[in-house]
Structure formats: C-alpha cells, structure tokens
Structure 1
Amino acid sequence: MNIKEILKDIKKGVAELIDEERLEILVKNYYEKGENFFVKAGFDPTAPDLHLGHSVVLGKMALLQKHGAIVQFLIGDFTGQIGDPSGKNATRKKLDKEEVLKNAKTYEEQVFKILDKEKTQICFNSKWLNELGAVGMIELASTFSVARMLERDDFAKRYKEQSPISVSEFMYPLLQGYDSVALNCDIEMGGTDQKFNLLMGRHLQRTYGAKKEQVVLMMPLLVGLDGVNKMSKSLGNYIGVTENANDMYAKILSISDELMIDYYELLSEISSAEFEKLKLDLKQGIIHPKKVKENLALEITARFHSQEKAKIAQDEFDKVHKAKALPSDIAEFSISSEQGKLWLAKALVECGLESSTSAARRSITANAVSVDSKKINDEQFKLEKGEFILQVGKRKFAKLKVL
C-alpha cells in the first residue's frame, strides 16, 4: 500500500492540516502493525437535519475509516446546551435538554448514510462532563487565561464592541478540548471556523498528560446553492442528506460551473489523482462542464439513495428539462372558486407550490410561474373553472382542478 498516495487522498480538499508527520505515522502503523487510531468530530445538536455541508467533514472521516480510523462521532448533548460561540456576534440561545436529545437522535439516525457503522462509536459528552463536577470545572478553567481567550477573533470583536460575553462561552472551547482528553483521540476534525477549539484539544492533552497531541484536520466551509454564503438550512441554500433523490439530483445540477469544482473536491470520493485529471480535462475542453456536473449529481445522489434511484432521478430530470415533458408524479388538487374564478397566487399556496400569497406574487412578477406551460406575470391573474398544470420555477408542479 502506497502511504504517500493515501495521504494525498486524505489531504484532498483539506484547508489546513496540523501535524502531518503524526498523521502519516498513524496510517503507516495501521498498515504495518494493524493498529487502529481514533478520529473525533463533534456535533452540537442545534438543528435536526444534516446537509451536504456537514458531509464534507463526515466524508473525510469515512475515508479515514478505510485506512484504519475508528470514528468517534461526538454528539455534544452537554455543550449543546451552552452553544458554540464560534463566529457568533451575540450569546446564543440556550437549548433545553429535551430539544438537544431530540435533535441528537435525528443526527444518530442520519450519520450512517455516510459513515461505516462497524467503525463508528456514537459518543455523548454529557457522560464525562457531568462527572467532571464543580472542582473539575474550576481546574479546567484554570488551564487557560482570559487574555488568551480574548485573542480569539470573535471574542475580541465582541469585547471591543462591548457586546456581552457570558462566562459559559469561555468554557465552551475548554469543554470541547476536554472531550479530546476524555476520548483520548488521535485526530480531531472540524471546519476552518473551529480552529481555536481544535487547538484547545492539543493544549489540554498536553496539560492533562495524555502523552499525545491530536492531529488537527480542518475542512473548508461548503458554499451553498446561492454561491455566496456557507450552506445553511436557515438560509435555505442547502441540500439535505434526507432529501428525495429527484430533488437532490436537480439541486446539484443547479450549482454554477465554478462552484462545481469545489463540490467535486469536497464531496466526491474520486482520488486526488482523478480530481487533478478532471480539472485538466475541463481546462483543455476534453470534457464538457455539464457532463461533469451530471456525474457529480449521480455520485452524490447514489451515495444517499442508490444507483438505481440516482439513474431514475437523472431520467426524470432529462424528461422534464430536456424533453420539456411533465414529471411522472404530479400532486393533484381540487379547489372551489369564488364566482367562477380563482386567484392564481392563492392557488399556488393551496397547492403547496408557494409558502404565502406574497411569495407567490413575487414569483409571478419574476416570470417564474407558468399555467399550462405559458408564463404568467400578472400578479392579479385569475383561473376560471377547468383543469390546469401549474409550475413554479423548474422543479415545482401541480395539477389543479378549479371547481
């Protein structure tokens, strides 16, 4: 086994790697001595669903599992009640325990869409942090100074702006670092916004005499479908790992050609050598960007569903968007009209194509709404009695019978 090539694949898409020499030793010891190593990543269960942004870290962990890693998937049921202050300009709202545990259960159900269950340990940090007690918490707090804590960018900014910083927020990176001590992990992974917290793990492993310092492996934040902001459910620019195959395939095809390269690097399981060849082929015009994007959509959709469902999603997309045919399964609705006419904006809401009449009106004026394949841009347009095919954008359809 070529260790150097394995390391190249591991480093594909990585934003920053601290202690590459130790990473090489861990992989080498697995192949030469059969020794496993432990890779940790923490998830505060503040939202119930995983999306492709989360899968950037999870996908890299899945790759490490192929080369000797036992993944410690850490659900921060204790720290989640504090809230990670990374990148935040205000104190986060505290989650109640019931909500944390509910979200944690959802994460636990979804994570095995990516990770190998036989090589994964699901951990909850309340197990050791509850046992730490008051004395342990004070000892932990004494390992780091307030001055050092204020060197952190987000804390420094809030302190300068005189925005409140709670003592519990100072504790968060210490508690995350202590997780590394409790789990005795060899590698910790996270996004680039987590660097301060990840380095805290190395600091505390030294402080508590763990006789090791974890490798820190940071992944870039995946940009969402809008091409501007990081993928986030709250911004609506995300692709959820539980979305149906048709929507997942179509959303991936909707990304720009520029963003496609980043998605390939961060989400695809192709090797680093294959990725470099792909970029060269694109640059030389040997392969068309559209074909590359279709391959990526097929790969990712198949990962979360199956090869068969991914192919069906591709055929359905081609049917609707290339052949201009209607989808195979369109929801059907019947709505009574007032005086023989039904306001189109109201019809779009009643059919579930829009969330509100104001949103429907915006789509109509933006020329994104069609009735029987004809664009409608009059926000006061009314439908008479009869049967119609309503469409919003490229992917949302409904059959409507106006009574």
Structure 2
Amino acid sequence: MSGLGERAVDLVPPGGLEAKLALGRPLRVKFGVDPTAPDIHLGHAVPLVKLREFQDAGHTAVLIIGDWTARVGDPSGRTSTRPMLSAEQIEENAASYRQQAFRIIDPERTEIRSNGEWFGGMGLEEVFRLAGSATVNQLLRRNDFAGRMAADQPVSVLELLYPLMQAYDSVMVEADVEIGGTDQLFNLMLGREIQAHWGMAPQVALTMPILPGLDGVQKMSKSLGNHVGVADAPEEQFGRTMRIPDAALAEWYRLLAPAEPAPGAGPAVEDKRRLGRLIADRFHGPGAGERAEAHFNRVVRDRQAPEEMPEVPLPAGTVHLPALLADALGVASRSEARRLIAGGGVSLDGEPVRELDLDAAALDGRVIRAGKRRFARLRAGG
C-alpha cells in the first residue's frame, strides 16, 4: 500500500490508489465539507491532515464547500431529518470554513469549489438525469436509511438526494480520490458508480477513522460539546486536550500527530500535555503551546488569575450579573449564568458571589471568574 494510504480504514478498490499514482500525473483529491456550523473542529482535521499529505506529495487538493448539500443536510449517522439552514447562515459558515481549513491545508495547492456552481443553475431535466443514475434500492442500502425505515422513522425524499449530490460533485471536479470519514463510505462508493455512469474513471474511496470526542466515546461534535475547535484560543485547546480520557489518547496521537512518538508507559498526563502543546502550536504557531501550558498551570492547577485578561467596562448603576456573564464573558445564556452563580462557579477576587445584582462602583478593578477559565477585570464608568 502507498504511504498515502496509511491510517486509512477503507481504501477501495484494493490496489486502486497505486494504479492512480502510476498514471504519473498529479491526482485530484477531493474532500467536501458542508458548512452546517461556523467552526471546524479536530474531527474535521483528521481527513484534512490526510489531504495535506497528498498535497505535500505533489497532488491537488479539491476542497468542496457544500453550500447546496448543506441545504439538504448529510444524513450520515442521523436518526432523524436535519433542520434546514438559511442561505445566510450557510454563507457565513462557509466563509469561516474556508479560513479555518487553511490552518491545515496549503492554500497555494488547493482548488476551492462550491457545489452551488453546478446545483444552483441545474434545471429540472438535469435533476431527472441525476435522479435516474441510481435506484431507490441502492440508496436504501445505506445503514442510516435502512435503520430508520426499520424503526418506522421518516426518511425524506430530499435526504435521498444527498448521496447523489455528493456523488455528482465527484463528476463535476473529476475526482481521482475522495477522502471522508468511515461514516461517508456509502457516499464515496456511490461517487464511483455515478462517475462510471457519466463515462469517467471511478475515484478511489479513502476513509479515515472517526476521532472520538473529549468523552472518548462519541464522535466529536460541537452539538455534543465534546469538541476542540481549530480556531479556539490556544489556552482553550490545551485545556480541553487535558480532558481526554487516557483510553483515547493513543488514538488522538495516531490520527492528529502521526509523526510524533506514541504515548509511553509513563503518566498519561505528560502525554496529554505534549499533545496539547502540539495542537496549540499547529493552529497558532510555535510557542503557543508553551504559553497555553503556562496559562493552564497558573489558572487550573494553581488556581490563580491569569497574568493577562480582558477588561470589561461596566455601565453606571446596578449591574445584573447574569447579563454580564452572558454578554461579556461568553457564558451560553443568562439562565446558564444563574446556574453557574448558584453552584458557586462565579467569584470576585477569589471569593464566590451569590448576588445577582451588584453596584458597578463596588466592582471597579475587581477580577471576575466564571467557571474554570473565564476571567476578566471589571472597570466602572465604561
């Protein structure tokens, strides 16, 4: 197997990648993302790292931003229909995805395409032709659909179109190889069939393992809160990495830092620290990991305030603390802020605070802490 196939779970057909490489030309290696959320996390990074390996070997990365497939929603791993996003939400997310993907792949060797280029102007006759290139029997073989049908749960006609749309992307960009997670194998294999239907040489399907989230069990997902974002602050990346269960650590190293020595037999905490530094350095530059570790030691281990923190201006008069936490310190909502206060998770100069309404003048210059890692210095008269 070619070194480019290392760590792959599926590589179909057997010997297919070697045959493509033997063509003696740069391959077109496709990876698609649907901008259904504003951030890319480390779970997305696994196939992007593989895409970068192809780039470093001289091949062309074709990054498809699925602005039209996002309107349908990928049914992979779903037990219900995804909610449909607005065009505005999709475009905002797409802009963020493009920027964040280049923290991993080389922009100079990347061809960025949006599948709205071909689906946006597709007429009904072309839709008929695409729909006629596969059968319902083929689509219902997909585990997600078969399981929902067996449980008498609805499967929309729109969802049946999704695998076809992803497959047609491969036709339009003339993909030689498509990379995806193991949950994408059906879609990648359908891409081979649809390419053959259009008279093209079928792509090689290459799937990468699914990175477990911070819980060590479920797939990394922002909706589950078990993720590390590639655009997160280095302190946040390091701190979240320290939460990885020991049992998941070897897999994180294998998928995110394959060139690094595997975790040793010593204390897992040291390997977590090393990985946290590597992740912060990768996405924020050399030295970011060391600074993030120092921040972690001071704030989490030693329970001290960070050396640097943002200043939050306060309006004159009474300050409603839940509103301040939600609006200025990143707490998810005012109700969540109230729960945090009630549980003793909010302090002023190290002392827990229970009051919801405080005088701004009395808060001037004090350090507020919400949870483990949110700090700010309060300034009255802002």
TM-score range, shorter chain: 0.7 to 0.9
Partner of 2:40: 50
RMSD: 3.0
- Alpha carbons of structure 1 residues 344 and 19: separation in structure 2 relative to 1, 3 Å: same
Matches within 5 A, 1:317-356: 317-333=296-312, 334=314, 348-349=325-326, 352=329, 354-356=331-333
| C-alpha contact (below 8 Å) 1:391/1:398 kept by paired residues | yes
**C-alpha deviation, 1:64, in angstroms:** 1.7
In the aligned structure 1, how far is the partner of 2:251 from the partner of 2:91? 33
Superposed CA offset, 1:90-142 (max 9, x none): 33333343433332222222221111112110012232335653333222222
Matches within 5 A, 1:3-402: 6-7=3-4, 10-12=5-7, 14-27=8-21, 29=22, 33=24, 35-130=25-120, 132-210=122-200, 212-270=201-259, 274-275=260-261, 278-279=262-263, 282-283=264-265, 285=266, 288-333=267-312, 334=314, 348-349=325-326, 352=329, 354-364=331-341, 366-374=343-351, 376=352, 379=354, 385=362, 388-400=366-378
Superposed CA offset, 1:275-300 (max 9, x none): 5xx24xx23x3xx3222212211211
In the aligned structure 2, how far is the partner of 1:349 from the partner of 1:177? 43
In the aligned structure 1, how far is the partner of 2:86 from the partner of 2:342? 43
Instruction: State the TM-score, normalized to the length of structure 2.
Output: 0.86
Instruction: State the TM-score, normalized to the length of structure 1.
Output: 0.82
Comparing 351-360 with 184-193, greater Cα deviation is found at 351-360
In the aligned structure 2, how far is the partner of 1:185 from the partner of 1:258? 37
Report the identity percentage: 37
| C-alpha contact (below 8 Å) 1:371/1:389 kept by paired residues | yes
In the aligned structure 2, how far is the partner of 1:296 from the partner of 1:335? 42
- Alpha carbons of structure 1 residues 241 and 316: separation in structure 2 relative to 1, 3 Å: same
In the aligned structure 1, how far is the partner of 2:63 from the partner of 2:142? 26
- Tell me how many residue pairs correspond in the alignment: 377
| C-alpha contact (below 8 Å) 1:337/1:402 kept by paired residues | no
- Alpha carbons of structure 1 residues 173 and 348: separation in structure 2 relative to 1, 3 Å: closer
Q: Secondary structure at the match of 1:113?
A: coil
Q: Secondary structure at the match of 1:307?
A: coil
- Alpha carbons of structure 1 residues 155 and 380: separation in structure 2 relative to 1, 3 Å: same
In the aligned structure 1, how far is the partner of 2:208 from the partner of 2:268? 25
In the aligned structure 1, how far is the partner of 2:114 from the partner of 2:327? 43
Q: Secondary structure at the match of 1:247?
A: helix
- Alpha carbons of structure 1 residues 401 and 137: separation in structure 2 relative to 1, 3 Å: closer
Q: Secondary structure at the match of 2:113?
A: strand
In the aligned structure 2, how far is the partner of 1:45 from the partner of 1:330? 32
**C-alpha deviation, 1:40, in angstroms:** 0.6
In structure 2, runs of 5+ residues without a counterpart are: none
In structure 1, runs of 5+ residues without a counterpart are: none
In the aligned structure 1, how far is the partner of 2:371 from the partner of 2:291? 21
In the aligned structure 2, how far is the partner of 1:184 from the partner of 1:381? 60
